Amino acid sequence: MKHYDNQFKKEAVKLSDEIGTKKAAEQLGLPYYTIAEWRKKRSENLKKDNVESGDMTERERQLFAENMRLKQANEILKDALGFFAEDRKR
């Protein structure tokens, strides 16, 4: 099993935010599930840090949770678009 440093993981996740998980995995030569897992851990850590800090109001917690759900939905749509675009090329 390969070990990647935290900086590489952060950059890979950032790239996946910009171009989608599937394309980022292809560009970096990584399995899709590797970047997907890093993204999941980032989301969990952000949520945990913000909720545990107690600095957020209830409305901010709701907005944060909604934002995370929308980001995940957007990622699914990006991946689906890539899948169908490749299918049309055939």
Segment 22-37 mean pLDDT: 93
Rounded Cα gap, residues 10 and 47, in angstroms? 17
The pLDDT-based confidence of 63 (bands split at 50, 70, 90) is confident
Residue 3 burial (10 A CB sphere; 0-12, 13-18, 19+): exposed
When the pLDDT of each residue in the chain is averaged and rounded to a whole number, the result is 83
